[in-house]
A = this chain, B = another copy of it.
Amino acid sequence: MVSVATMRDVASEAGVSTATISRYLNGKTNHMSSATAKRVTEAIKKLNYVPNESARQLITKQSRLVAVVAADVDDYFSTEIFKGVNSVLKKNNFIAVLMDSDSDEQRELGTLSSLNQQMFGGVIIQPLSNDLKAFKKVIPQNIPVVMLDRQVENSPWPSVVTNNYTISKKAAQYFKDQGLNHVFVITNNVKNVSTREERLSGIKAVFHENVQIIEPGDSEDSFNEAYTKLKRSVAATHGGLIFALKERWLLKFLPKLIRDGVIRKSDGVHMTGFSDTSLTDNIDPGIKVINQDPYQIGVSAAQILIEGVDSATQPIAKKIEIPAQF
Protein backbone atom coordinates (compact mmCIF):
# COMPACT_ATOMS: atom_id res chain seq x y z
CA MET A 1 0.00 0.00 0.00
CA VAL A 2 1.06 3.55 -0.65
CA SER A 3 1.03 5.61 2.53
CA VAL A 4 -0.01 9.19 2.08
CA ALA A 5 0.89 11.56 4.90
CA THR A 6 -1.85 14.04 5.74
CA MET A 7 -1.50 17.60 6.93
CA ARG A 8 -2.45 16.35 10.40
CA ASP A 9 0.49 13.92 10.36
CA VAL A 10 2.84 16.76 9.47
CA ALA A 11 1.38 19.00 12.17
CA SER A 12 1.77 16.26 14.77
CA GLU A 13 5.35 15.54 13.69
CA ALA A 14 6.29 19.25 13.83
CA GLY A 15 4.34 19.87 17.04
CA VAL A 16 2.28 22.69 15.56
CA SER A 17 -1.35 23.14 14.54
CA THR A 18 -2.68 22.19 11.11
CA ALA A 19 -3.48 25.90 10.62
CA THR A 20 0.24 26.60 10.89
CA ILE A 21 0.97 23.96 8.26
CA SER A 22 -1.66 25.52 6.03
CA ARG A 23 -0.16 29.00 6.47
CA TYR A 24 3.28 27.60 5.73
CA LEU A 25 2.07 25.93 2.54
CA ASN A 26 0.38 29.11 1.38
CA GLY A 27 3.60 31.07 1.83
CA LYS A 28 2.27 33.08 4.80
CA THR A 29 5.36 32.70 6.95
CA ASN A 30 5.70 36.31 8.05
CA HIS A 31 4.00 35.68 11.43
CA MET A 32 5.91 32.45 11.99
CA SER A 33 9.19 32.11 13.88
CA SER A 34 12.01 30.74 11.79
CA ALA A 35 12.32 27.86 14.25
CA THR A 36 8.69 26.87 13.60
CA ALA A 37 9.14 27.18 9.86
CA LYS A 38 12.21 24.95 10.08
CA ARG A 39 10.35 22.29 12.08
CA VAL A 40 7.57 22.27 9.50
CA THR A 41 10.07 21.99 6.64
CA GLU A 42 11.70 19.01 8.32
CA ALA A 43 8.42 17.29 9.13
CA ILE A 44 7.29 17.62 5.52
CA LYS A 45 10.57 16.17 4.34
CA LYS A 46 10.58 13.32 6.84
CA LEU A 47 7.03 12.20 6.06
CA ASN A 48 7.45 12.79 2.34
CA TYR A 49 4.29 14.88 2.52
CA VAL A 50 2.84 15.80 -0.88
CA PRO A 51 0.64 18.85 -0.49
CA ASN A 52 -0.82 18.53 -3.93
CA GLU A 53 -4.32 18.88 -5.19
CA SER A 54 -4.79 15.18 -5.91
CA ALA A 55 -3.86 14.17 -2.38
CA ARG A 56 -6.13 16.88 -1.03
CA GLN A 57 -8.94 15.75 -3.28
CA LEU A 58 -8.65 12.17 -2.11
CA ILE A 59 -9.23 13.39 1.41
CA THR A 60 -11.70 16.20 0.93
CA LYS A 61 -13.38 14.68 -2.13
CA GLN A 62 -13.77 18.16 -3.50
CA SER A 63 -12.14 19.77 -6.47
CA ARG A 64 -11.88 23.48 -7.21
CA LEU A 65 -12.17 22.83 -10.93
CA VAL A 66 -15.52 23.52 -12.57
CA ALA A 67 -16.13 22.28 -16.09
CA VAL A 68 -18.10 24.51 -18.43
CA VAL A 69 -19.23 22.35 -21.34
CA ALA A 70 -20.11 24.75 -24.16
CA ALA A 71 -22.11 23.84 -27.25
CA ASP A 72 -19.56 25.44 -29.56
CA VAL A 73 -16.65 27.62 -28.50
CA ASP A 74 -16.69 29.25 -31.93
CA ASP A 75 -19.88 31.02 -30.92
CA TYR A 76 -19.55 34.37 -29.22
CA PHE A 77 -22.54 33.33 -27.11
CA SER A 78 -20.72 30.30 -25.67
CA THR A 79 -17.48 32.10 -24.89
CA GLU A 80 -19.37 35.01 -23.32
CA ILE A 81 -21.17 32.54 -21.03
CA PHE A 82 -17.76 31.21 -20.03
CA LYS A 83 -16.53 34.72 -19.22
CA GLY A 84 -19.55 35.26 -16.97
CA VAL A 85 -19.05 31.94 -15.20
CA ASN A 86 -15.35 32.63 -14.75
CA SER A 87 -15.93 36.04 -13.19
CA VAL A 88 -17.93 34.48 -10.35
CA LEU A 89 -15.83 31.36 -9.89
CA LYS A 90 -12.57 33.28 -9.63
CA LYS A 91 -13.91 35.28 -6.71
CA ASN A 92 -14.78 32.02 -4.99
CA ASN A 93 -11.41 30.40 -5.64
CA PHE A 94 -12.72 28.02 -8.22
CA ILE A 95 -11.15 27.63 -11.62
CA ALA A 96 -13.40 27.46 -14.65
CA VAL A 97 -12.25 25.34 -17.54
CA LEU A 98 -14.02 25.37 -20.86
CA MET A 99 -14.72 22.17 -22.77
CA ASP A 100 -16.17 22.06 -26.24
CA SER A 101 -19.00 19.89 -27.56
CA ASP A 102 -18.30 21.26 -31.04
CA SER A 103 -22.03 21.22 -31.96
CA ASP A 104 -21.95 17.42 -31.86
CA GLU A 105 -24.29 15.53 -29.52
CA GLN A 106 -22.05 12.46 -29.42
CA ARG A 107 -19.07 14.60 -28.56
CA GLU A 108 -21.10 16.28 -25.84
CA LEU A 109 -21.83 12.94 -24.18
CA GLY A 110 -18.19 11.90 -24.60
CA THR A 111 -16.98 15.07 -22.91
CA LEU A 112 -19.44 14.69 -20.07
CA SER A 113 -18.51 11.07 -19.46
CA SER A 114 -14.84 12.03 -19.26
CA LEU A 115 -15.73 14.19 -16.24
CA ASN A 116 -16.45 11.04 -14.29
CA GLN A 117 -12.80 10.14 -14.34
CA GLN A 118 -11.42 13.52 -13.50
CA MET A 119 -12.41 15.17 -10.28
CA PHE A 120 -14.48 18.22 -10.98
CA GLY A 121 -16.28 20.16 -8.30
CA GLY A 122 -19.19 20.98 -10.56
CA VAL A 123 -20.43 21.08 -14.13
CA ILE A 124 -22.18 23.81 -16.09
CA ILE A 125 -23.61 22.60 -19.39
CA GLN A 126 -25.03 24.36 -22.41
CA PRO A 127 -26.82 21.23 -23.63
CA LEU A 128 -27.11 20.26 -27.27
CA SER A 129 -29.06 17.07 -26.79
CA ASN A 130 -32.52 16.75 -25.27
CA ASP A 131 -31.93 13.15 -24.25
CA LEU A 132 -32.32 13.18 -20.48
CA LYS A 133 -31.60 9.47 -20.15
CA ALA A 134 -28.28 9.82 -21.97
CA PHE A 135 -27.33 12.82 -19.81
CA LYS A 136 -28.17 10.96 -16.61
CA LYS A 137 -25.91 8.11 -17.67
CA VAL A 138 -22.82 10.25 -18.22
CA ILE A 139 -23.10 13.15 -15.78
CA PRO A 140 -21.37 12.43 -12.45
CA GLN A 141 -24.05 11.99 -9.81
CA ASN A 142 -22.23 13.38 -6.83
CA ILE A 143 -21.45 16.86 -8.11
CA PRO A 144 -23.72 19.86 -8.64
CA VAL A 145 -24.88 20.47 -12.20
CA VAL A 146 -26.43 23.58 -13.76
CA MET A 147 -27.74 23.78 -17.32
CA LEU A 148 -27.97 26.97 -19.27
CA ASP A 149 -29.23 28.48 -22.52
CA ARG A 150 -31.45 25.47 -23.20
CA GLN A 151 -33.60 23.26 -21.02
CA VAL A 152 -33.78 19.49 -21.08
CA GLU A 153 -37.30 18.26 -20.48
CA ASN A 154 -37.97 16.90 -16.96
CA SER A 155 -34.34 17.49 -16.06
CA PRO A 156 -33.44 17.30 -12.34
CA TRP A 157 -30.97 20.17 -12.74
CA PRO A 158 -31.61 23.91 -12.50
CA SER A 159 -31.38 25.92 -15.70
CA VAL A 160 -30.63 29.53 -16.56
CA VAL A 161 -32.12 30.75 -19.82
CA THR A 162 -33.15 33.85 -21.74
CA ASN A 163 -36.80 34.90 -21.43
CA ASN A 164 -37.32 33.40 -24.86
CA TYR A 165 -41.10 33.40 -24.93
CA THR A 166 -41.65 36.86 -23.46
CA ILE A 167 -39.05 38.68 -25.51
CA SER A 168 -40.10 37.03 -28.79
CA LYS A 169 -43.70 38.00 -28.09
CA LYS A 170 -42.64 41.56 -27.31
CA ALA A 171 -40.67 41.90 -30.54
CA ALA A 172 -43.49 40.34 -32.55
CA GLN A 173 -46.02 42.72 -31.00
CA TYR A 174 -43.81 45.72 -31.82
CA PHE A 175 -43.83 44.84 -35.52
CA LYS A 176 -47.52 43.93 -35.54
CA ASP A 177 -48.18 47.41 -34.18
CA GLN A 178 -46.28 48.77 -37.20
CA GLY A 179 -48.92 47.15 -39.39
CA LEU A 180 -47.16 43.93 -40.39
CA ASN A 181 -49.44 40.91 -40.72
CA HIS A 182 -47.19 37.99 -41.62
CA VAL A 183 -44.09 36.49 -40.06
CA PHE A 184 -41.45 34.37 -41.73
CA VAL A 185 -39.48 32.57 -39.05
CA ILE A 186 -36.00 31.45 -40.06
CA THR A 187 -34.79 28.66 -37.81
CA ASN A 188 -33.13 25.28 -37.53
CA ASN A 189 -35.39 22.32 -36.89
CA VAL A 190 -37.62 23.43 -34.01
CA LYS A 191 -38.44 20.00 -32.62
CA ASN A 192 -37.10 19.16 -29.15
CA VAL A 193 -35.08 22.34 -28.71
CA SER A 194 -36.67 24.33 -25.89
CA THR A 195 -35.14 27.65 -26.96
CA ARG A 196 -36.59 27.50 -30.45
CA GLU A 197 -39.94 26.14 -29.28
CA GLU A 198 -40.35 29.00 -26.81
CA ARG A 199 -39.35 31.66 -29.30
CA LEU A 200 -41.77 30.33 -31.86
CA SER A 201 -44.57 30.20 -29.29
CA GLY A 202 -43.98 33.85 -28.42
CA ILE A 203 -44.28 34.82 -32.09
CA LYS A 204 -47.37 32.67 -32.61
CA ALA A 205 -49.04 34.26 -29.57
CA VAL A 206 -49.10 37.50 -31.58
CA PHE A 207 -49.37 36.45 -35.23
CA HIS A 208 -51.41 33.24 -34.69
CA GLU A 209 -51.73 31.30 -37.94
CA ASN A 210 -49.91 33.93 -40.03
CA VAL A 211 -46.55 32.35 -39.26
CA GLN A 212 -44.52 30.55 -41.89
CA ILE A 213 -41.42 28.58 -40.94
CA ILE A 214 -38.34 28.58 -43.17
CA GLU A 215 -35.66 26.04 -42.29
CA PRO A 216 -32.40 26.62 -44.15
CA GLY A 217 -30.17 23.56 -43.79
CA ASP A 218 -26.43 23.56 -43.35
CA SER A 219 -25.50 23.19 -47.02
CA GLU A 220 -25.18 26.09 -49.42
CA ASP A 221 -27.80 24.51 -51.74
CA SER A 222 -30.29 24.22 -48.94
CA PHE A 223 -29.63 27.85 -47.95
CA ASN A 224 -30.21 29.05 -51.50
CA GLU A 225 -33.44 27.09 -51.68
CA ALA A 226 -34.63 28.62 -48.40
CA TYR A 227 -33.62 32.09 -49.58
CA THR A 228 -35.58 31.74 -52.84
CA LYS A 229 -38.61 30.42 -50.96
CA LEU A 230 -38.45 33.34 -48.53
CA LYS A 231 -38.23 35.95 -51.30
CA ARG A 232 -41.18 34.38 -53.12
CA SER A 233 -43.27 34.19 -49.94
CA VAL A 234 -42.54 37.80 -48.96
CA ALA A 235 -43.61 38.95 -52.44
CA ALA A 236 -46.79 36.85 -52.24
CA THR A 237 -47.89 38.31 -48.90
CA HIS A 238 -46.93 41.87 -49.93
CA GLY A 239 -44.46 42.22 -47.11
CA GLY A 240 -44.20 41.12 -43.52
CA LEU A 241 -41.67 40.44 -40.79
CA ILE A 242 -38.65 38.18 -41.24
CA PHE A 243 -37.68 36.81 -37.82
CA ALA A 244 -34.34 34.98 -37.43
CA LEU A 245 -34.25 32.76 -34.36
CA LYS A 246 -30.48 33.06 -34.16
CA GLU A 247 -27.81 35.52 -35.19
CA ARG A 248 -26.23 33.20 -37.74
CA TRP A 249 -29.37 33.40 -39.87
CA LEU A 250 -29.63 37.13 -39.39
CA LEU A 251 -26.10 37.60 -40.73
CA LYS A 252 -26.62 35.16 -43.58
CA PHE A 253 -29.94 36.52 -44.83
CA LEU A 254 -29.90 40.22 -44.05
CA PRO A 255 -27.06 41.53 -46.29
CA LYS A 256 -28.40 39.49 -49.22
CA LEU A 257 -31.97 40.70 -48.66
CA ILE A 258 -30.77 44.30 -48.57
CA ARG A 259 -28.60 43.85 -51.68
CA ASP A 260 -31.55 42.31 -53.54
CA GLY A 261 -33.79 45.20 -52.52
CA VAL A 262 -36.17 43.00 -50.49
CA ILE A 263 -35.53 45.08 -47.38
CA ARG A 264 -35.41 48.84 -47.91
CA LYS A 265 -35.57 51.90 -45.67
CA SER A 266 -39.25 52.59 -44.93
CA ASP A 267 -40.83 49.62 -46.60
CA GLY A 268 -43.36 46.92 -45.80
CA VAL A 269 -40.67 44.31 -45.13
CA HIS A 270 -38.84 44.29 -41.82
CA MET A 271 -36.33 41.97 -40.29
CA THR A 272 -35.48 41.20 -36.68
CA GLY A 273 -34.02 38.35 -34.69
CA PHE A 274 -31.84 37.19 -31.85
CA SER A 275 -28.42 38.80 -32.01
CA ASP A 276 -25.51 38.22 -29.65
CA THR A 277 -22.85 40.53 -31.04
CA SER A 278 -22.95 44.08 -32.39
CA LEU A 279 -22.26 42.85 -35.93
CA THR A 280 -25.66 43.98 -37.23
CA ASP A 281 -25.08 47.53 -35.94
CA ASN A 282 -23.14 48.57 -39.02
CA ILE A 283 -25.72 47.33 -41.49
CA ASP A 284 -27.72 49.97 -43.31
CA PRO A 285 -30.74 50.24 -43.11
CA GLY A 286 -30.47 49.58 -39.38
CA ILE A 287 -32.72 46.97 -37.80
CA LYS A 288 -34.06 46.49 -34.29
CA VAL A 289 -32.89 43.20 -32.76
CA ILE A 290 -33.14 41.15 -29.58
CA ASN A 291 -29.94 41.13 -27.54
CA GLN A 292 -29.43 38.37 -25.02
CA ASP A 293 -27.11 38.63 -22.05
CA PRO A 294 -24.90 35.52 -22.17
CA TYR A 295 -22.43 36.98 -19.66
CA GLN A 296 -25.20 37.38 -17.05
CA ILE A 297 -26.51 33.89 -17.83
CA GLY A 298 -23.04 32.59 -16.99
CA VAL A 299 -22.87 34.66 -13.80
CA SER A 300 -26.22 33.37 -12.61
CA ALA A 301 -25.40 29.73 -13.40
CA ALA A 302 -22.10 30.00 -11.53
CA GLN A 303 -23.83 31.48 -8.48
CA ILE A 304 -26.32 28.62 -8.35
CA LEU A 305 -23.53 26.10 -8.79
CA ILE A 306 -21.46 27.53 -5.96
CA GLU A 307 -24.42 27.34 -3.58
CA GLY A 308 -24.63 23.67 -4.51
CA VAL A 309 -20.92 23.08 -3.96
CA ASP A 310 -20.91 24.88 -0.61
CA SER A 311 -23.91 23.03 0.74
CA ALA A 312 -22.76 19.77 -0.91
CA THR A 313 -26.22 19.31 -2.37
CA GLN A 314 -27.62 19.25 -5.85
CA PRO A 315 -29.25 22.65 -6.55
CA ILE A 316 -33.03 22.33 -6.95
CA ALA A 317 -34.41 22.16 -10.46
CA LYS A 318 -35.63 25.72 -10.75
CA LYS A 319 -35.66 27.78 -13.94
CA ILE A 320 -34.06 31.21 -13.89
CA GLU A 321 -34.76 33.67 -16.68
CA ILE A 322 -32.29 36.38 -17.60
CA PRO A 323 -34.16 39.01 -19.60
CA ALA A 324 -32.98 39.90 -23.10
CA GLN A 325 -33.27 43.44 -24.46
CA PHE A 326 -35.34 44.49 -27.48
**Partner-B contacts on A (CB < 8 A):** 1-6, 9, 50, 52-55, 57-59, 63-65, 67, 73-74, 76, 79-80, 82-83, 86, 95-100, 102, 111, 114, 117-119, 255, 282
A111 smallest CB distance to B (angstroms): 8
A149 smallest CB distance to B (angstroms): 17
User: Judging by beta carbons under 8 Å apart, are B65 and A118 in contact?
Assistant: yes
Q: Across the interface, which residues of B come within 8 angstroms of A255, CB to CB?
A: 282
Query: How far is B3's CA from A4's CA once the two chains are assembled, in angstroms?
Result: 6
A23 smallest CB distance to B (angstroms): 16
Identify which of B4, B57, B64, B76 contacts A1 (C-beta below 8 A): B4
User: Judging by beta carbons under 8 Å apart, are A95 and B99 in contact?
Assistant: yes
Q: Across the interface, which residues of B come within 8 angstroms of A100, CB to CB?
A: 82-83, 86, 96, 98
Query: How far is B82's CA from A230's CA once the two chains are assembled, in angstroms?
Result: 37
Answer whether A74 and B67 are a contact pair too, CB < 8 Å, given A54-B54, A95-B99: no
Q: Across the interface, which residues of B come within 8 angstroms of A114, CB to CB?
A: 95
Answer whether A59 and B99 are a contact pair too, CB < 8 Å, given A54-B119, A73-B79: no
User: Judging by beta carbons under 8 Å apart, are A117 and B52 in contact?
Assistant: yes
Identify which of B2, B65, B95, B102 contacts A83 (C-beta below 8 A): B102
Answer whether A98 and B95 are a contact pair too, CB < 8 Å, given A55-B58, A76-B74: no
